[in-house]
C-alpha cells in the first residue's frame, strides 16, 4: 500500500505504527547515508521486528547511499564535526543538517514505489523541525509532491507527510495512543552507548515526552531525571534570549 522512510527515531516509528494500524501494507526504507554511527539503523531493525511481532504487514530494506555521503555532507552527523549541545533553534545546530537529505531519500523512495506498483510515499516531517530543516516544511512537501507526480506521471506517486502540521509532542501523543514501542527507538546524534541527553535531538525528545507527562521509556529512571535536568538547563539559557 505504501512506501515510507524509517529512520528508527520517534517520528518515523510513529508513522510506521500509524500506517500499519490502519491496515496498510508498508514497505519501509532505512537509509545508510554515512551516519557517524549505525545505531539508528540497528534501532530501525528492532522497530521492524516489533512491528512484525505485532502482526503488522511490512517489508524493510536498508539502502546504502554512504558512497555519496562525501558529496552531500560535511556536517556533524557524518562524524567530521562535533555534535553541538543545545536546542535545534540554536544557529550552531545547522551543522547537523545534511543538505537536501530528504529529497534524495524521497526520490529513491518514489522510484521504489513505482517499481512495486504503489502510489504513495510517506515520511514523518513535522512542525518542530521547521526551524532547522527546510526539507521538513509544508512548502517543500507540496513542491516535491508536485515534482514526484510529474516525474511518475504514467504511474503517479503521491508524497504524503501526515504529521506536517503537528509538533513533535503531538506526534508522541498520537504514538502513545497507538502503543508505539518508543523504548526501541533512537534519537541521539552522538555515537554513544546511551543517549547523551544534551544534543538537539535528545533535548527535543525529552521535551516531547515531558509535554505528554510521561517518562521516555528508552531511559532508566536515573537517566530520565538527568534528561529533565538537562532540558531545564538549556530551556532556561538558550530560550530566554
Ligand atoms: Zn544526544
Gap between the Cα atoms of 49 and 34, Å rounded = 23
Query: From ligand 1's centre to the CA of 60, what distance in Å?
Result: 26
Residues 6+ apart with CB under 8 A from 99: 72, 73
Q: Please give the helix or strand (H or E) that residue 141 lies within, else none.
A: helix 138-151
Write the pLDDT tens digit of every residue in 138-184.
Answer: 999 999 999 999 999 999 999 999 999 999 999 999 999 999 999 99
Query: From ligand 1's centre to the CA of 118, what distance in Å?
Result: 36
Contact criterion met (CB below 8 Å) for 234 and 197: no
Query: From ligand 1's centre to the CA of 13, what distance in Å?
Result: 18
pTM across the whole model: 0.91
Query: From ligand 1's centre to the CA of 143, what distance in Å?
Result: 32
Nearest to 208 by CA among 191, 192, 231, 189: 231
pLDDT average, residue stretch 189-194:
85
Cα angle for residues 91, 79, 96 (degrees, 5° grid): 25
Write the pLDDT tens digit of every residue in 25-61.
Answer: 999 999 998 776 678 899 999 999 999 999 999 999 9
Domains and CATH numbers, the chain: 2-238 (3.40.50.620)
> In which band, very low, low, confident or very high, does the pLDDT at 241 lie, cut at 50, 70 and 90?
very low
Write the pLDDT tens digit of every residue in 65-109.
Answer: 988 877 776 555 555 566 667 766 666 666 666 778 899 999 999
Query: From ligand 1's centre to the CA of 113, what distance in Å?
Result: 33
Which residues crowd ion ligand 1, with CB under 5 Å?
Answer: 188, 190, 196, 199, 202
pLDDT at 210: 97
Amino acid at each position: 500500500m505504501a512506501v515510507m522512510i524509517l529512520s528508527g527515531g520517534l517520528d518515523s516509528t510513529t508513522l510506521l505504527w500509524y500506517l500499519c494500524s490502519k491496515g496498510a501494507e508498508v514497505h519501509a526504507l532505512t537509509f545508510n547515508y554515512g551516519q557517524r554511527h549505525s545505531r539508528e539503523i540497528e534501532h530501525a531493525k528492532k522497530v521492524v521486528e516489533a512491528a512484525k511481532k505485532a502482526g503488522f504487514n511490512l517489508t524493510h530494506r536498508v539502502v546504502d547511499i554512504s558512497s555519496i555521503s562525501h558529496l552531500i555532507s560535511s556536517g556533524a552527523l557524518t562524524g567530521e564535526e562535533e555534535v553541538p549541545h543545545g536546542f535545534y533553534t540554536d544557529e550552531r545546530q545547522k551543522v547537523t543538517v545534511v543538505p537536501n537529505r530528504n529529497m534524495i531519500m524521497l526520490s529513491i523512495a518514489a522510484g521504489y514505489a513505482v517499481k512495486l506498483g504503489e502510489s504513495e510515499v510517506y515520511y514523518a516531517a513535522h512542525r518542530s523541525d521547521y526551524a532547522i530543516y527546510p526539507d521538513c516544511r509544508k512548502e517543500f512537501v507540496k513542491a516535491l509532491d508536485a515534482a514526484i507526480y510529474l516525474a511518475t506521471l504514467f504511474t503517479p506517486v503521491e508524497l504524503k507527510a501526515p504529521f506536517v502540521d503537528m509538533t513533535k509532542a503531538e506526534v508522541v501523543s498520537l504514538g502513545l495512543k497507538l502503543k508505539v514501542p518508543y523504548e526501541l527507538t533512537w534519537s541521539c546524534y552522538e555515537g554513544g552507548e546511551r543517549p547523551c541527553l544534551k544534543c538537539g535531538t535528545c533535548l527535543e525528545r525529552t521535551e516531547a515526552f515531558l509535554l505528554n507527562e510521561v517518562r521516555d521509556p528508552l531511559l532508566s529512571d536515573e537517566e530520565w531525571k538527568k534528561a529533565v535536568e538537562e532540558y531545564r538547563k538549556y530551556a532556561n539559557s538558550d530560550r530566554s534570549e
